[in-house]
C-alpha cells in the first residue's frame, strides 16, 4: 500500500500544465508580443519621420547658406562671351526659370593654378528643384559651354529674389525697418541700368523667398557687402 501511495504522489507531482493553461499562456504571450511589436513599429515610424524632417531642414539651411556665401562675395564684373554677347555683373535674366545670375569672387585655389578667383553663378528653378550653376571661367568663347551644376533643394514649388536699392526714394530709414515693406523691394535687377539701382549698381540687400512642400513659405534677407 505504501509503495502504491508513493507512485500516485509521484504522478501527481509530474503532471505539469493542463491544455487550458498552455493555451492561456500562448494567448497571453501573443498579446504581449503584439503590443511590443506595435510599440516598436510606432517608435521606428516616429524616428524615421524625425530623421526625414531633420534631413529636409538641413538641406534648406544648406541652400540658404550657399546662396548667402555667394552673395557675400558678389563682384561688379560683367560676363563676356566673345563680341556678340554680354551679361551684366548682377542681373535677373529673362530666361524662364532663371532666378538670378551674378559674378562672385573669393573662389578657393588650393593648387595655386593660373586662374582668376572669379566665378559666374546662376540660380535656376526647374520643376520643383532649385539648382546652382557655376562656370569656373568667367569669360568664355562659347555660349553653350556647360556649367557645373549642384542640386540645392527639392520640393520647391516657388522661388523668388527681391532687391532693396541703396537709397529708397525719399527715405533714410534702416534696413530692418524696410524688410517688411514691399513697396521698397524690386522684383528684378540689372547692374548695367543705374536707373533701377537709383544710386548704386548693386542692391544693399537681397530677399529670398522659397515656398517648400515641408515648411511652406520661408524667407531670408541677406545684406550685400
Q: Once rounded to an integer, what is the mean pLDDT over residues 15-20?
A: 71
Cα separation, 187 vs 176, whole angstroms: 19
What predicted TM-score, i.e. pTM, was given to this entire model? Answer: 0.70
Is residue 214 scored above 80 in pLDDT?
Answer: yes
Band of pLDDT at residue 193, cut at 50, 70 and 90: confident
Is residue 4 scored above 70 in pLDDT?
Answer: no
Pick 151 or 194 by higher pLDDT: 151
pLDDT score for 207: 94
Cell 510599440 belongs to residue: 39
pLDDT score for 16: 65
Q: How does DSSP assign the chain, residue by residue? A: -HHHHHHHHHHHHT----HHHHHHHHHHHHHHHHHHHHHHHHHHHHHHHHHHHHHHHHHHHHHHHHHHHHHTTEE---EE-TTS-EE-SEE--SSTTEEEEEEE-----TT--SS-S-EEEEEEEETTEEEEEEESSSS-S-TTPPPEEEEEEESEEEEEEEEE-SS-TT----HHHHTT-GGG-BS--BTT-HHHHTT-SS-SEEEEEEEETTTEEEEEEEE--
Is residue 223 scored above 50 in pLDDT?
Answer: yes
Handedness of CA 115, 119, 120, 122 (dihedral sign): positive
Kindly report, residue by residue over 134-161, the tens digit of the pLDDT: 987 777 665 567 889 999 999 999 999 9
Cα separation, 189 vs 224, whole angstroms: 14
* Least-confidence region, from 9-18, 47-56, 72-81, 188-197: 9-18
Kindly report, residue by residue over 93-137, the tens digit of the pLDDT: 988 889 999 999 877 665 655 567 788 999 999 999 999 999 877
CB atoms within 10 A of CB 88: 20
Range 183-187, long-range pairs (CB < 8 A, 24+ positions): 186/162, 187/92, 187/160, 187/162, 187/163
Cα separation, 192 vs 217, whole angstroms: 31
Contact criterion met (CB below 8 Å) for 121 and 131: no
Please, what is the Cα angle at 83 between 77 and 87, to 5 degrees?
Answer: 35
pLDDT-above-70 percentage for the chain? 72
List, in order of start, the domains of the chain with CATH numbers. Answer: 62-223 (3.10.610.10)
Q: Once rounded to an integer, what is the mean pLDDT over residues 13-25?
A: 71
pLDDT score for 178: 57
Amino acid at each position: 500500500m505504501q509503495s502504491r501511495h508513493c507512485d500516485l504522489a509521484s504522478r501527481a507531482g509530474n503532471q505539469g500544465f493542463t491544455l487550458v493553461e498552455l493555451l492561456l499562456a500562448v494567448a497571453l504571450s501573443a498579446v504581449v508580443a503584439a503590443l511590443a511589436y506595435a510599440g516598436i513599429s510606432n517608435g521606428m515610424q516616429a524616428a524615421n519621420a524625425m530623421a526625414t524632417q531633420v534631413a529636409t531642414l538641413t538641406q534648406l539651411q544648406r541652400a540658404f547658406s550657399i546662396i548667402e556665401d555667394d552673395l557675400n562675395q558678389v563682384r561688379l564684373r560683367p560676363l563676356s562671351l566673345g563680341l556678340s554677347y554680354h551679361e551684366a555683373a548682377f542681373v535677373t535674366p529673362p530666361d524662364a526659370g532663371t532666378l538670378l545670375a551674378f559674378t562672385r569672387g573669393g573662389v578657393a585655389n588650393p593648387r595655386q593654378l593660373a586662374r582668376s578667383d572669379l566665378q559666374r553663378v546662376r540660380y535656376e528653378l526647374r520643376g520643383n528643384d532649385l539648382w546652382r550653376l557655376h562656370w569656373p571661367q568667367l569669360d568664355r568663347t562659347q555660349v553653350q559651354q556647360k556649367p557645373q551644376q549642384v542640386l540645392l533643394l527639392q520640393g520647391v514649388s516657388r522661388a523668388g529674389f527681391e532687391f532693396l536699392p541703396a537709397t529708397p526714394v525719399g527715405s533714410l530709414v534702416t534696413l530692418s525697418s524696410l524688410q517688411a515693406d514691399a513697396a521698397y523691394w524690386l522684383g528684378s535687377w540689372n547692374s548695367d541700368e543705374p536707373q533701377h539701382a537709383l544710386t548704386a549698381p548693386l542692391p544693399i540687400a537681397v530677399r529670398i523667398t522659397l515656398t517648400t512642400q515641408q515648411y511652406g513659405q520661408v524667407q531670408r534677407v541677406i545684406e550685400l557687402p
